[in-house]
Structure 1
Amino acid sequence: MSTHTSPQLSVLDLVPVRTGQTSAQALAASLDLVALADRLGMTRYWFAEHHNMPGVAASSPPVMIAAAAARTAHVRVGSGGVMLPNHAPLVVAEQFAALEALAPGRIDLGLGRAPGSDPVVSALLRSSGPTAEVEQFPQHVKDILAMMGPEGARLRLTSGTLYDVRATPAAAGSPDVWLLGSSDYSARLAAELGLPYVFANHFAGQGMEQIVRLYRENYAPSPAHPAPRTFLTVNAVVADTADEARERALPQLRAIARMRTGRAMRPVETVEEALADRPDHLMGRTIEGLSERWLIGDAATAADELRRLADLHDVDEVMVVPVAGAREDEPLDTTPGRARTLELLSEALAA
Structure 2
Amino acid sequence: MTSSSPTVPLSVLDISSIDSAGSPAETLVGTRRLVAAADELGYTRFWVAEHHNSRGIAGSVPAVLLAALGERTSRIRIGAGGVILPNHPPYAVAESFRTLAALFPGRVDLGIGRSGADPLLSHALRRAPDEDFPAALEELLAFVDGGFPDGHVYQRLEALPEPPQPPRSWLLGASVRSAVDAGQRGLPYAFAHHFFNSRGTEEALRAYRQSFRPSARAERPHAIVTAYTVCGETTEHARRLTAPALFPVLRLNGASPIAPLPTVEEAAAYPWTEAELASADALLSTQAVGDAEEVRRALTDLLERTGADELMVTNNVTDVEEKIRSLERVRDLAPALPVPSGVSR
- TM-score normalised by length of structure 2: 0.89
Q: How does 1:1-351 map to 2 (within 5 A)?
A: 6-115=7-116, 117-126=117-126, 131-151=127-147, 156-157=152-153, 163-203=155-195, 204-258=197-251, 263=256, 265-279=258-272, 283-326=276-319, 335-350=320-335
CA deviation profile, 1:131-173 (whole Å, cap 9, x unmatched): 443211112111111112244676645xxxx741111154432
SS at match of 1:109: strand
| C-alpha separation in 1, matches of 2:218 and 2:257 | 43
CA deviation profile, 1:277-332 (whole Å, cap 9, x unmatched): 12457644432321212211112331343233212211231101133354xxxxxx
| C-alpha separation in 2, matches of 1:118 and 1:279 | 32
**2:343 aligned partner:** none
CA deviation profile, 1:70-126 (whole Å, cap 9, x unmatched): 1101111101110011101011010011111111110110001113x4332222111
Across the two proteins, how many residue pairs are aligned to each other? 330
| C-alpha separation in 1, matches of 2:256 and 2:56 | 13
Root-mean-square deviation over aligned CA pairs: 2.3
Conserved 8 A contact 2:18-2:318:
no
| C-alpha separation in 1, matches of 2:181 and 2:314 | 25
| C-alpha separation in 2, matches of 1:49 and 1:205 | 19
Aligned AA (2:185) = L
Q: Which stretch shifts more, 134-143 or 34-43? A: 134-143
Aligned AA (1:221) = P
| C-alpha separation in 2, matches of 1:109 and 1:234 | 20
| C-alpha separation in 2, matches of 1:264 and 1:168 | 37
Alignment CA distance shift 1:90-1:282 (3 Å): farther
Alignment CA distance shift 1:189-1:264 (3 Å): closer
Conserved 8 A contact 2:54-2:257:
no
Alignment CA distance shift 1:74-1:263 (3 Å): closer
Alignment CA distance shift 1:23-1:153 (3 Å): farther
Aligned AA (1:147) = F
| C-alpha separation in 2, matches of 1:94 and 1:183 | 28
Conserved 8 A contact 1:44-1:76:
yes
Alignment CA distance shift 1:252-1:107 (3 Å): same
| C-alpha separation in 1, matches of 2:321 and 2:162 | 42
Conserved 8 A contact 1:97-1:168:
yes
Aligned AA (1:202) = H
